Each structure stands twice: as structure tokens, then as C-alpha cells.
């Protein structure tokens, strides 16, 4: 019997749900994560991603699975332990882009779940009706009306409970994650360091652990993950160390220090210059990954700049330079950030191209000149529609006066 998974069969998995129905397959999948064959393990991991973390959603079975994923990750005999930490962290917070660059607002999250628990179908339907009525333009109103028609209070409450349960299942086991900061595997240390940043309620215990790691760590990617997490946890006593990394020679810690300093309201021209440079040419992360935003440091840098109250003109221009270097699905989130910087909140329709400011004109032009493979993604077309731009490449080019 595998003591690492003790108690696995004590849970009524068949009575819990995931994306494909009953979660009775979860125990077998968790056991397969220790299988000798790498293909068998990867198949099990992919199936878990598809079932208990399907496209960022969490289910009744998600929270109960978290302790076993962490137990496996803590056992050196388990292969690919960092993958299990990343799955557990994903189930705790969903897609991290929804929390960045500011971090998890857990107080607001708990208030919303409490509000739902105290509410009921009729009250929520009235709230949704008021939300639809407040739409600023016809397009936004239609979008809200669709969401209103598909709204189901019972399902919304079940989802909210499952999401918070998965978050708290990991939060209560953060001592185990902090222990992994001393693991001999740099991939595990990086995964543990990035995971800690999502739990501000545990900052009092996590920040000293991250500080100790930073005092001994030699892998630049592990250091970068720890620096970003320290910023997300409001580690202001680490600002001198962050400034030291910002002035250093290692590209990844330098970038991470800039991200953390901006998050801590300690930005200066060197911080914005570093982030602007990363929008154009982000530092590489060979070997051990930087976990945040799936390692898309260009996108993270652009999001950080877009989150500033008054971004410097050169930093905003760097976001456009970065967007012009993207292709495929990487263009969509960058386009959304560039449009937000240039145009503010989505509004439709846009005025004639000649009536736009020079920055707005350049933003439209850069989007219109994106390669064809960027325009094949529905996400980009939806984003353009939100801002009143033509969701067709030729029409967008015509609007911008391009051939």
C-alpha cells in the first residue's frame, strides 16, 4: 500500500463531480502519477487537467484532490513533482492572469462567496437584471443579456464553493509547500516559490521562507519566481534586495525585481525601463521556468505597465513594439492590453481613424498589420469587437488606411 496516498479510498469520489461527470476515476489517475512509464504518467496528468481543472474551472472533486497532489509532490520518489504543484496551484486560483499583476484579492473573493451563500435565485436574478440595464452601449448590453439568459444561481453557488474549497485546501497545507523551498530539485523549488505568492493570508509565514531561499538560491529562474511572489505578498522589507537584483547582471532576477517593485509601489525609471525592454525582448528562461502567466514574460510586463495609473509614454510604446512581435494566439492578450492603454475602457463604435490620437492610430495600425495566423484566433476578433474595431483583417486595414 502506498502510504503517500493514505486515505485516498476513504473519500466518496463516485459521489463527487468533475467536468465529465462522476469523479470515480480520480483515485486511479492520482495513483498513476507514480507509474514507472512517463507516457502513462503524462496521460494521467493530462486527464486530471481535463477533468478536475477543465479550462480553468474547478469542481466538487477539485478540492479533495489537492491534498493528494501535494502529498505526491512532497515525496522525492514521485516523478515530475513540479507538475503536480502547478496543477494544485492552478486549481487553487484558476488562470493566474485573472489575478495579475496585483495578486489574489482574497478578502474580496471571500466576501463574494459569502454574499452568494446569503442570497437566493430571485435576489440574484434581480441583481443580474440591474447589471444588464447598466450597460454602457448596445453591444455591451447584448453581451450581458446573453450572460443573464444563461445564469443559473444554483450552478453559480456550486462553482463558487468549489473554487474557494480548492483554494483553502492548498492554503491549509502551505507549510508543506514552504518545506519544498529547500528541495534539491530546482524545478520543485521554483514551483513552490511561485505557489506561495497566491496566498496573502499566509504572508507572515511565507515571506521569511522566501527571504531565506533568496539568501542561498543560485538558480536565476528560482530566484525570479521567489521575487515575484515576494512582491505579490507585499514584502516591503525586501525592497533593498529587489533593488540589488534590479541593478544586477542576471536578466531573469532583474525582470522579476522590476515586477515586484512595481507591485510594491516602489517603481522608478529603472523599473519601467526594465519592463519596457521586456515587452520588446523578454528574458529567456531555459531549463527551470518562470511560472507566472505560463512563462509569457512579455505579456506579464505589458500587463504590469497597463496596470499603472499613468504609464510613461515610452513604456506604453514598448507594449506596442512587443505586440508587433507576436503571432498566433499570443497576439490576443497583448492586443487587449495595448487597446486598454490607448483607448481606455471598451467602447463601440470608434470614430473615424483620422479622429484618433497618434497613439490610438498607431495601436490600430499595429493590430491591422499582425500576421494572418494572429487573425485566425476568435479571441482576437472578440477583443476587437469590444473596442468597435472591424473583426476582419482587410476591413481593419482599410479602416487604418493600409493597403
Give residue-wise pLDDT tens across range 146-191: 989 999 999 999 999 999 999 999 999 999 999 999 999 999 999 9
Q: How far is CA 229 from CA 101, 198, 265, in A?
A: 11, 8, 15
Question: What does the alpha-carbon distance between residue 174 and residue 195 come to, in Å, rounded to a whole number?
Answer: 9
List the Cα angle 47/289/315 in 5-degree steps.
120
Say which residues have a Cβ less than 8 Å from residue 284's Cβ, sequence separation at least 6.
251
pLDDT of residue 350: 81
Closest by alpha carbon to 57, among 147, 157, 168, 159?
Answer: 159
Instruction: Tell me if 16 is assigned to some domain.
Output: yes
Instruction: Tell me if 383 is assigned to some domain.
Output: yes
Residue where a domain stops, chosen among 129, 146, 172: 172
Instruction: Tell me if 62 is assigned to some domain.
Output: yes
How far is Cα of residue 151 from the mean position of the Cα atoms in its chain? 25
Say which residues have a Cβ less than 8 Å from residue 161's Cβ, sequence separation at least 6.
113
DSSP-derived secondary structure letter, 283 = P
Question: What does the alpha-carbon distance between residue 124 and residue 155 come to, in Å, rounded to a whole number?
Answer: 12
For 6-27, the pLDDT digits (tens) are 999 999 999 999 999 999 999 9
For range 50-64, the mean pLDDT: 96
Question: What does the alpha-carbon distance between residue 245 and residue 263 come to, in Å, rounded to a whole number?
Answer: 15
| pLDDT above 70: residue 38 | yes
Instruction: Tell me if 283 is assigned to some domain.
Output: no
For range 362-386, the mean pLDDT: 94
Percent of the chain topping pLDDT 70: 99
Residue where a domain stops, chosen among 145, 172, 199: 172
Output the pTM of the full model: 0.94
Instruction: Tell me if 105 is assigned to some domain.
Output: yes
| pLDDT above 90: residue 286 | no
For 89-131, the pLDDT digits (tens) are 999 999 999 999 999 999 999 999 999 999 999 999 999 999 9
What is the overall mean pLDDT for the chain? 94
- Residue pair 162/62 in contact by the 8 Å Cβ criterion: yes
Question: What does the alpha-carbon distance between residue 250 and residue 170 come to, in Å, rounded to a whole number?
Answer: 32
Closest by alpha carbon to 171, among 67, 273, 253?
Answer: 67
What's the grid cell of residue 290?
518562470
Instruction: Tell me if 284 is assigned to some domain.
Output: no
pLDDT of residue 326: 97
Question: What does the alpha-carbon distance between residue 9 and residue 216 come to, in Å, rounded to a whole number?
Answer: 40
Instruction: Tell me if 245 is assigned to some domain.
Output: no
Residue where a domain stops, chosen among 172, 200, 218: 172
Query: Dihedrals φ, ψ of 114, to 5°?
Result: -60, -40
Question: What does the alpha-carbon distance between residue 208 and residue 299 come to, in Å, rounded to a whole number?
Answer: 29
DSSP-derived secondary structure letter, 34 = T
Question: What does the alpha-carbon distance between residue 224 and residue 255 come to, in Å, rounded to a whole number?
Answer: 8
Task: Render 86-151 in DSSP notation, one character per residue.
Answer: HHHHHHHHSSGGGTTTT---HHHHHHHHHHHHH--HHHHHHHHHHHHHT-SSHHHHHHHHHHHHT-
pLDDT of residue 1: 53
Instruction: Tell me if 297 is assigned to some domain.
Output: no
Question: What does the alpha-carbon distance between residue 58 and residue 54 come to, in Å, rounded to a whole number?
Answer: 7
* Owning domain of residue 66: 1-172
Identify the H or E element spanning 337: helix 331-343
Considering its fold, how many domains does the chain have in total? 2
Amino acid at each position: 500500500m502506498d502510504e503517500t496516498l493514505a486515505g485516498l479510498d476513504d473519500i466518496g469520489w463516485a459521489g463527487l463531480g468533475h467536468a465529465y461527470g462522476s469523479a470515480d476515476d480520480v483515485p486511479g489517475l492520482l495513483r498513476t502519477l507514480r507509474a514507472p512509464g512517463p507516457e502513462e504518467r503524462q496521460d494521467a496528468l493530462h486527464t486530471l487537467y481535463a477533468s478536475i481543472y477543465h479550462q480553468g474551472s474547478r469542481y466538487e472533486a477539485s478540492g479533495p484532490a489537492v491534498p493528494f497532489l501535494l502529498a505526491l509532490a512532497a515525496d522525492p520518489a514521485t516523478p515530475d513533482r513540479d507538475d503536480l504543484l502547478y496543477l494544485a496551484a492552478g486549481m487553487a486560483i484558476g488562470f493566474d492572469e485573472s489575478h495579475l499583476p496585483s495578486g489574489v484579492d482574497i478578502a474580496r473573493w471571500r466576501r463574494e462567496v459569502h454574499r452568494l451563500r446569503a442570497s437566493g435565485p430571485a435576489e440574484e436574478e434581480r441583481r443580474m437584471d440591474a447589471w444588464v440595464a447598466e450597460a454602457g452601449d448596445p453591444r455591451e448590453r447584448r453581451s450581458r443579456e446573453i450572460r443573464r439568459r444563461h445564469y443559473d444561481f444554483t450552478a453559480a453557488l456550486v462553482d463558487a464553493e468549489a473554487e474557494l474549497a480548492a483554494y483553502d485546501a492548498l492554503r491549509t497545507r502551505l507549510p508543506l509547500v514552504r518545506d519544498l523551498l529547500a528541495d534539491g530539485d530546482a524545478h520543485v523549488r521554483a514551483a513552490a516559490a511561485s505557489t506561495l505568492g497566491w496566498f496573502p493570508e499566509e504572508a507572515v509565514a511565507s515571506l521569511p521562507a522566501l527571504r531565506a531561499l533568496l539568501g542561498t538560491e543560485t538558480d536565476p529562474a528560482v530566484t525570479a519566481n521567489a521575487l515575484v511572489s515576494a512582491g505579490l505578498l507585499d514584502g516591503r522589507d525586501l525592497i533593498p534586495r529587489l533593488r540589488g537584483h534590479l541593478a544586477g547582471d542576471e536578466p531573469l532576477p532583474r525582470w522579476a525585481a522590476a515586477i515586484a517593485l512595481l507591485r510594491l509601489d516602489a517603481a522608478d525609471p529603472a523599473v519601467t525601463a526594465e519592463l519596457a525592454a521586456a515587452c520588446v525582448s523578454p528574458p529567456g528562461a531555459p531549463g527551470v521556468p518562470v511560472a507566472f502567466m505560463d512563462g509569457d514574460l512579455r505579456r506579464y510586463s505589458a500587463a504590469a505597465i497597463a496596470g499603472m495609473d499613468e504609464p510613461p509614454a515610452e513604456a506604453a510604446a514598448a507594449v506596442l513594439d512587443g505586440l508587433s512581435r507576436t503571432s498566433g494566439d499570443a497576439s490576443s492578450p497583448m492586443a487587449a492590453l495595448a487597446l486598454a492603454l490607448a483607448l481606455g475602457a471598451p467602447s463601440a463604435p470608434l470614430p473615424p481613424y483620422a479622429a484618433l490620437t497618434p497613439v490610438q492610430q498607431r495601436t490600430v495600425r499595429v493590430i491591422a498589420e499582425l500576421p494572418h495566423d494572429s487573425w485566425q484566433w476568435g479571441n482576437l476578433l472578440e477583443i476587437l469587437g469590444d473596442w468597435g474595431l472591424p473583426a476582419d483583417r482587410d476591413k481593419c486595414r482599410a479602416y487604418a488606411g493600409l493597403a
